């Protein structure tokens, strides 16, 4: 074999692995669709928009779960984003050099905690605190479990992802940008704002990464959200998410239609996650075209649903 | 020199951690003239120019010792407001570093952080600064286009306009043309020649022809020491030190 043909086989080999990724994604979409045909045929698009979830009479609508997933994720994002960016700014710009590594390591450690452990912490610590708040506010019934507890636990789980990506982005902003600001009489805070402005597309990406995480998170949310399919803007009412209903009911799905309805929820979650991904990429791409800033496009991963 | 010097440096040392990189620099820089700092790489000329507006402060473990006076006031004095200092002493860097904003917003940046909000006032100063930086005619129809769409030479002139907008008295230029092609370089040099009527300019350059073309006075640095300084013609044609002569005639460096 000649050396140049080595190059060719190397290219073909690695190319095959790359193609495998596409194949897996397409395969997931195909399989989810194939295994939910009964439900798709029976409910059609109404599956997205109806609120009834009645396994006994075989009537299924996914809206409460879609609502619960999106609402809890958006709330988590609202709580997590400022905190995560604050952590990223502190570590990359302000903290004493000695503290930098340990702090970065500790935030990343948050991401390594298994989600079932978060769930236990939620049940034993967070839920009683939320219940006390509810009682103090006169909310009825004061259960503790519900949307607020879920959003808070999601926020804690999302923070390490958003803050590490944001930190990396701030670190990659060229020193010349900060120098330019300082040389024009900028204060420390003003120079940091310049760095944030320079990395803004990447920071948007970091926030979207957190959103993707929150959408697919299953275990911890299932343990604290209350698992009741209802659509409500209330922070205290128990609700349900797409991932949670699959995890809870999959093993109990006795008849075919029930099973297919659950798998269709998985398909919806897949579509929504891909949609959010595309949307964030479009967003990043359009800001990038306006100003050529550094761009880090993180992959948004929804945690796989245990089946 | 008949006037008092604009910048007066006495026994200035500079350290990065334990490493001493400037040794007892003493130098007077006259007002409204161009002073060029020349010397081989690593001779400390960039460190020196960055000491004048205390840009080295942002590097950890870096510190200066000795005095740098601007109009008789110590730059390193305990009551010096660094933010105020840097507005009086503008700086242009080796690599053009526009913000990823529009041309207009780039020039407006220093004014806005200084608290200027009046649109008409901003417009006026931005036009004047871009005109002074010899860029106005090229960009006046696209002030709100991204600064990053400009060519390298235009970006560097934009950075000069941005520095001029806050109305400094001194302009420090750290190899402002080293990343530019010859035509863009000659534009920057013409600009420097015009600006010296109103500003005190200190320029670091690698390029000896450039120093000979643009400067009034020239200072030669070597291994962290100031070897010799004086009138440009003296330094280039009749230097006192053997080392200066060897450098300017291209025997090393």
Per the structure block, which two tokens stand in for A106? 């500790």
Among candidate residues A160, A154, A274, A159, the one with its CA nearest the CA of residue A219 = A154
B80 contacts in A (CB within 8 Å)? none
pLDDT value at residue B53: 95
What contacts A177, CB < 8 A, 6 or more positions away?
A: A194, A195, A198, B97, B99
Question: Rounded distance, CA A289 to CA A285, Å?
Answer: 6
What average pLDDT score do residues A56-73 get? 95
B131-158 mean pLDDT: 94
* Contact call for B93 and A186, based on CB within 8 A: no
Contact between chains at A185 and B114 (C-beta distance less than 8 A) = yes
Residues of B in contact with A292 (CB under 8 A): 100, 146, 148
The pLDDT value given to residue A287: 63
Whether B104 and chain A come into contact, CB under 8 Å, resolves to no
Residue B133 binned pLDDT confidence (cut-offs 50, 70, 90): very high
Helix, coil or strand: residue A158: helix
Region B34-53 average pLDDT: 94
pLDDT above 50 (res B179): yes
Query: Given a cut of 60, is residue B68 above it in pLDDT?
Result: yes
Q: What is the mean pLDDT of residues B30-35?
A: 96
- Among residues of chain B, what percentage have pLDDT more than 70? 98
Question: Per the CB < 8 Å rule, is A176 touching B93?
Answer: yes
- Would you say A56 and A249 are in contact if contact means Cβ atoms under 8 Å apart? no
Does the beta-carbon distance from B146 to A292 stay under 8 Å? yes
Residue of B nearest to A287 (CA): B100
Instruction: Judge residue A48's burial from the number of C-beta atoms within 10 Å of its C-beta, 0-12 exposed, 13-18 middle, 19 or more buried.
Output: middle
Q: What are the Cα distances from residue A127, in Å, to A71, A116, A132, A146, A226?
A: 19, 15, 9, 9, 11
**Centroid of chain to Cα B61:** 23
In this complex, which of B60, B100, B162 lies closest to A184 when CB atoms are compared? B162
Query: Quick one: pLDDT at residue A299?
Result: 47
The size of the A-B interface in CB pairs under 8 A is: 68
Check whether A231 has a pLDDT greater than 50.
yes
Question: Residue written as tokens 């239609």?
Answer: A257
A178 touches chain B (CB under 8 A): yes
Q: Do A183 and B53 touch (CB under 8 A)?
A: yes
* Model ipTM value: 0.93
Query: Do the Cβ atoms of B86 and A293 come within 8 Å?
Result: no
> Taking CB atoms and an 8 Å limit, are A183 and B146 in contact across chains?
no
Superfamily of domain A64-292, CATH level 4:
MetI-like (1.10.3720.10)
Give the residue extent of every domain in chain A: 64-292
Length of chain B: 253
Q: In what order do the strands lie in the sheet with B225-231?
A: B89-92, B170-174, B200-204, B34-38, B217-222, B225-231
Q: How far is B51 from chain A (nearest CA, A)?
A: 12
pLDDT for residue A156 is more than 60: yes
Provide the pLDDT for residue B223.
93
Q: What is the pLDDT of residue A279?
A: 81
pLDDT at A294 over 80: no
CB-closest option in B99, B100, B166 to A185: B166
Among B60, B83, B99, select the one facing A180 at the smallest CB separation.
B99
Judge whether B159 is closer than 8 Å to chain A, CB to CB. Answer: yes
- pLDDT, averaged across chain B: 93
Structure tokens at B117: 């909000």
Rounded (to 5) percent helix, strand, coil in chain A: 75, 0, 25
Confidence of residue A304 (pLDDT cuts 50, 70, 90): very low
Q: How confident is the model at residue B1 (pLDDT cuts 50, 70, 90)?
A: very low
- pLDDT at residue A293, rounded to an integer: 47
Judge whether B49 is closer than 8 Å to chain A, CB to CB. no
The predicted structure's pLDDT at residue A1: 58
Given CB atoms, is B176 within the 8 Å cutoff of chain A? no
Q: Can you give the pTM of this predicted structure?
A: 0.83
Contacts of B53 in chain A (CB under 8 A): 183
Do B99 and A177 lie within an 8 Å CB cutoff? yes
């Amino acid at each position: 074999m000649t050396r140049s043909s080595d190059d060719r086989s190397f290219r073909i080999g690695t190319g095959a692995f790359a193609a495998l990724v596409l194949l897996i994604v397409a395969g997931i979409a195909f399989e989810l669709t194939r295994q939910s045909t009964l439900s798709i045929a029976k409910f059609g698009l109404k599956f997205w928009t109806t609120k009834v979830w009645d396994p006994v009479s075989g009537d299924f609508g996914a809206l409460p779960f879609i609502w619960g997933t999106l609402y809890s994720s958006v709330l988590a994002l609202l709580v997590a984003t400022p905190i995560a960016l604050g952590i990223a700014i502190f570590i990359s710009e302000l903290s004493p050099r000695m503290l930098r590594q340990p702090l970065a390591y500790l935030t990343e450690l948050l991401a390594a905690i298994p989600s079932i452990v978060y769930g236990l912490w939620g049940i034993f610590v967070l839920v009683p605190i939320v219940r006390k708040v509810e009682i103090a506010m006169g909310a009825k019934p004061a259960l503790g479990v519900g949307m607020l507890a879920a959003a808070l636990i999601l926020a804690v789980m999302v923070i390490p992802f958003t803050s590490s990506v944001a930190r990396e982005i701030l670190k990659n902003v060229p020193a010349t940008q900060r120098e330019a600001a300082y040389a024009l009489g900028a204060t420390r805070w003003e120079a940091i704002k310049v760095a944030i402005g320079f990395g803004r597309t990447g920071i948007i990406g970091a926030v979207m990464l957190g959103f993707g995480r929150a959408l697919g998170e299953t275990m911890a949310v299932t343990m604290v959200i209350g698992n009741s399919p209802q659509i409500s803007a209330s922070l205290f009412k128990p609700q349900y998410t797409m991932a949670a209903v699959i995890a809870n009911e999959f093993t109990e799905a006795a008849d075919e239609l029930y099973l297919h309805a659950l798998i269709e929820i998985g398909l919806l979650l897949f579509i929504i996650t891909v949609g959010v991904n595309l949307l964030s990429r479009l967003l990043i791409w359009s800001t990038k075209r306006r100003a050529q800033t550094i761009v880090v496009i993180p992959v948004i991963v929804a945690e796989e649903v245990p089946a | 020199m008949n006037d008092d010097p604009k910048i007066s440096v006495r026994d200035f040392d500079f350290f990065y951690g334990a490493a001493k990189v400037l040794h007892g620099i003493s130098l007077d820089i006259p007002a409204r003239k161009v002073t060029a700092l020349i010397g081989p790489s690593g001779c400390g000329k960039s460190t020196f120019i960055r000491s004048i507006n205390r840009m080295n402060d942002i590097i950890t473990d870096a510190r200066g010792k000795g005095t740098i006076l601007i109009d008789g006031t110590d730059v390193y004095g305990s009551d010096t407001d660094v933010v105020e200092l840097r507005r009086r002493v503008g700086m242009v860097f080796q690599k053009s570093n526009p913000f990823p904003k529009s041309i207009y917003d780039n020039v407006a940046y220093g004014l806005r952080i200084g608290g200027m909000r009046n649109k008409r006032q901003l417009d006026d100063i931005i036009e004047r600064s871009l005109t002074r930086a010899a860029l106005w005619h090229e960009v006046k129809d696209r002030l709100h286009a991204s600064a990053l769409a400009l060519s390298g030479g235009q970006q560097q002139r934009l950075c000069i306009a941005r520095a001029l907008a806050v109305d400094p008295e001194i302009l420090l230029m750290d190899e402002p043309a080293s990343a530019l092609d010859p035509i863009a370089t000659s534009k920057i040099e013409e600009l420097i020649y015009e600006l010296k009527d109103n500003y005190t300019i200190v320029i670091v350059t690698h390029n000896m022809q450039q120093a000979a073309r643009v400067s009034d006075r020239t200072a030669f640095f070597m291994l962290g020491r100031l070897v010799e300084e004086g009138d440009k013609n003296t330094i280039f044609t009749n230097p006192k030190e053997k080392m200066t002569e060897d450098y300017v005639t291209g025997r090393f460096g």
